[in-house]
Amino acid sequence: MGSIATMRAAQFHRDTGKIQVNEVPIPEPDDTEILVKIKSASLCHSDIMAIEGWTPTPSSVKPITLGHEGAGVVDKLGSKVTGFKAGDRVGFLYITGCCWFNTVESCELKPGEWLAVVGCGGLGQAAVQYAKAMSAKVIALDINDETLAEATRVGADLTFNSATNPNYLDEIRKATGGGVRAAAVYSASIAAYENAKNTLRIGGLLMAVGLPAKSFPVNLTEIITGLYRLKGDCTGIPQRMAHAIDFTAKHGIEPNVVSFHKLEEVPDMIAKMRAQKSTGRMALKVACSLDAIVYINNKYHPVSNNCQKVGKTADNPSSPIEV
């Protein structure tokens, strides 16, 4: 028998509580699958959630391969896959990958209305850009001055550090004439949700995005009497992605990738995220073609239906993802 082709994967081991780079078999795509060779991938808070057991990761998946925000090139295609060819540059796994666009658009803000973006890391900074492109006014809230500086750079009209400015709510109400029309929370902190709710004008919308480890208490009387509304719209079916990608390209929305790393540095990246010391997205830039932190598995992500081409074309001159 010949040797089995392998690739490298950064994986979390439940039994040891550690992340290590393992050699894992390269899967053969089934008829409806695409095998993608990863060129770059970023980490997000949901990776921490998987490590800490917040998400319903199948118990049979041991260890857990980290990373789902990948971009790369098509390596192999199943016999029933159409519309793609080997070498195509692709992004994928958009089930929740367009949450920053969907949540801003679903706030249904009119030009000039105020949106509070609470939590201004990678997701929040993209939300600021989308909101400005939709002609909204944006207030950025965070507890990190460097992160707020990034929010200003990408277009926020006002910024407030809720940890160091005891008067920020009064200042927001004064600036907005009574409170913001909507507040979108991109932090997993319960305190962030409370702060966001307090920025709203009467009847305002609280858009839930960040997934806290604990339950967020909701007073139904406040909802019933119309003090504020509560909504979530993170998920993005494949059919919604074309609109999101077109809008992103047309308005020059760019992810704020603050640093690139090697696969072996994933544990340090996770530690930095946990300590809230990153002002934007941290990403891996794969140097070796056999490196990978994600691969496509039809059991969880049937990419024949949710893969999107990315790249510079006549209709898409400013690609949102460069690989």
254-274 per-position pLDDT tens digit: 877 778 888 888 888 888 888
Which among 201, 232, 263 is the end of a domain? 232
What integer best gives the mean pLDDT of the chain? 82
Indicate if 56 and 157 belong to the same structural domain.
Answer: no
Tens digit of pLDDT for each residue in 304-315?
A: 333 344 433 333
Which among 203, 232, 261 is the end of a domain? 232
Q: What whole-number percentage of the chain has pLDDT above 70?
A: 82
| CATH number, residue 37 | 3.90.180.10
Residue 316 covered by a domain: no
Indicate if 104 and 214 belong to the same structural domain.
Answer: yes
Residues paired with residue 24 on neighbouring β-strands, in sequence order: 7
Indicate if 215 and 251 belong to the same structural domain.
Answer: no
* Whether the predicted model's global pTM rises above the 0.85 cut: no
Tens digit of pLDDT for each residue in 146-169?
A: 999 999 999 999 999 999 999 999
Domain hosting residue 123, numbered range: 99-232
| More confident of the two residues 97 and 263 | 263
Residue 321 covered by a domain: no
Indicate if 107 and 76 belong to the same structural domain.
Answer: no
Indicate if 67 and 183 belong to the same structural domain.
Answer: no
Domain count across the chain: 2
Residue 44 covered by a domain: yes
| CATH number, residue 204 | 3.40.50.720
User: Cα(first)–Cα(last) distance of the chain, in Å?
Assistant: 35
235 has a pLDDT exceeding 70: no
Report d(CA 128, CA 157) in Å as an integer. Answer: 9
Indicate if 179 and 109 belong to the same structural domain.
Answer: yes
Q: What is the DSSP letter of 265?
A: G
Residue 211 covered by a domain: yes
Residue 318 covered by a domain: no
DSSP string, 9-66: EEEEETTTTEEEEEEEEPPPP-TT-EEEEEEEEE--HHHHHHHHT-S---TT--SEEP
What was the pLDDT predicted at 270? 86
